[in-house]
């Protein structure tokens, strides 16, 4: 693909660390956290990770 200075085949996808998840959530708060405080917005994903629907790798951050 023109304009990409590296090979896409050389990229590695890995799970985000807890610190990276929080940083990403803080970055998306302005556009996605309408009606919530930052604390509530950050807690939302933490709660979702504990639900049955998130088991067996169904709720991941990359």
Q: What's the domain range around 40? A: 8-54
Is residue 25 assigned to a domain?
A: yes
Is residue 60 assigned to a domain?
A: no
Residue-level pLDDT at 6? 83
pLDDT by residue for the chain (62 residues), tens only, comes to 567 788 888 889 999 999 999 999 999 999 999 999 999 999 998 898 899 998 888 888 88
Question: Structure tokens of 35?
Answer: 């009606």
Is residue 23 assigned to a domain?
A: yes
Is residue 14 assigned to a domain?
A: yes
Is residue 33 assigned to a domain?
A: yes
Question: Structure tokens of 31?
Answer: 């556009």
Question: Considering its fold, how many domains does the chain have in total?
Answer: 1
Q: How far apart are CA 40 and CA 20, in angstroms?
A: 18
């Amino acid at each position: 693909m023109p304009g990409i200075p590296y090979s896409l085949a050389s990229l590695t996808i890995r799970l985000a660390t807890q610190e990276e998840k929080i940083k990403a959530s803080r970055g998306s708060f302005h556009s996605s956290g309408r009606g919530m405080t930052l604390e509530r917005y950050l807690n939302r994903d933490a709660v979702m990770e504990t639900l049955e629907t998130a088991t067996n790798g169904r709720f991941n951050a990359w």
